[in-house]
Amino acid sequence: MLDNYSAYQTNQVQRQVPPQFINFICRTGHPISDRGAMESPFNADVLKGKVALVTGGGSGIGFEISTQFGRHGAAVAIMGRRRQVLDSAVAALRSEGIRAIGLEGDVRKKEDAARVLEETFKHFGKLDILVNGAAGNFLASPEDLSPNAFRTVIEIDSVGTYTMCHEALKYLKKGGQGKGPAKGGLILNISATLHYTASWYQIHVSAAKAAVDSITRSLALEWGTDYDIRVNGIAPGPIGDTPGMRKLAPEEMQNKYNEHTRPLYKLGERWDIAMAAIYLASEAGKYVNGTTLVVDGGLWLSHPRHVSKEEVKKLSRVVETKVRKSPVGIPTSKL
């Protein structure tokens, strides 16, 4: 049974599980931002004066959002579990002149969430945007997935998202700490499209992301009405230039997508997700609330949508082999 986990880092959590159907979706090495030479469609100061906290902001999509927010005028706090990853990310952000800090914490722990939010507020004087990007994923068939493993993913993705939202309310609501009386802030939840139909070996993540989407809609109604807080989501498709995708049997997975899916016939980039985030965080998105924006090139609409179950099994074995050969080793911290 898939029951024993080891945390690798905040937004993509590497888990120690028995080798059957294992898939580490994690980030390693120094984060590099996407599309450094590609011109943004937004004005460089579109987020000027804003302060954002990005959970899982030290790598992958979270780091790209942090970088692009900073390039467009925002100050950025990133939250993660591994100090080395945070320090590397903050150094990269500051090298571009971005005001940035890195704060250690676990999104599932109320005390960590409260502390990180308080430190962000004390450092920057306010909070305008919360991006909930901390998450984790791996391949597992339902018969090989223990209830404890299922619960762990729910706690990271769903409970972690709600915990951060709950603790951020006093900073984001209109008239709250650091906020004027007329306008509240923004919550942006990173979701997925797995639960729109169903996906092989993803029952745990599908359930977790369905809950995230429900949180997005419910808080948009409740807090949009009472506190002028907009709550939206982004559901990325397969993003081909992330360390996680490269770790997930990169050539094999991309070949299968090319064979079976994508009306636009290309994988997405972190830059695509970050641009969607800027739109929702800026005044351009001021009338958007309770919406999860799908950024997947139309993948979830395509038929057939899925790689076959047999191919997923093969991919899981390829990932197992890659993990066994990986020099990263098994972290000592346990979830």
DSSP states along 153-215: HHIIIIIHHHHHHHHHHHHHSTTSTT--SS---EEEEE--SGGGS--TT-HHHHHHHHHHHHH
Domains of the chain plus CATH, in order, are: 51-325 (3.40.50.720)
Dihedral sign for Cα atoms in the order 165, 169, 170, 171: positive
Please check whether residue 278 is in contact with residue 186, taking contact to mean a CB–CB distance below 8 angstroms: no
Please check whether residue 117 is in contact with residue 176, taking contact to mean a CB–CB distance below 8 angstroms: no
pLDDT for 11 equals 36
DSSP at 144: G
Please check whether residue 297 is in contact with residue 258, taking contact to mean a CB–CB distance below 8 angstroms: no
Exposure string of 33-55, with b = 16+ CB inside 10 Å and e = fewer, is: bbbeeeeeebeeebbeebbbbbb
The separation between CA 30 and the C-alpha centre of its own chain, rounded to angstroms, equals: 17
Q: Per-residue pLDDT for the chain (335 aa), expressed as one digit of tens each?
A: 554 433 333 333 333 333 332 232 333 344 445 554 578 899 899 999 999 999 999 999 999 999 999 999 999 999 999 999 999 999 999 999 999 999 999 999 999 999 999 999 999 999 999 999 999 888 888 998 999 999 999 999 999 999 999 999 999 999 999 998 889 999 999 999 989 988 888 999 999 999 999 999 999 999 999 999 999 999 998 887 765 565 554 465 555 555 555 454 578 899 999 999 999 999 999 999 999 999 998 888 875 555 677 777 777 777 666 656 655 444 433 33
Task: Could you list the beta-strand ranges (E) of the chain.
Answer: 51-55, 75-80, 100-104, 129-132, 186-190, 230-236, 292-295
The separation between CA 144 and the C-alpha centre of its own chain, rounded to angstroms, equals: 25
Q: What is the spatial distance between Cα 184 and Cα 79, in angstroms, rounded to a whole number?
A: 22
DSSP at 145: B
Q: Which residues contact 269 (CB under 8 A, 6 or more apart)?
A: 34, 35, 239, 240, 241
Closest residue by Cα to residue 131 from 165, 100, 105 = 165
pLDDT for 15 equals 33
Q: What is the spatial distance between Cα 169 and Cα 184, in angstroms, rounded to a whole number?
A: 10
Q: What's this model's pTM, rounded to 2 decimal places? A: 0.82
The CA-based dihedral angle spanning residues 310, 25, 237, 98, taken in that order and rounded to the nearest 10 degrees:
-170
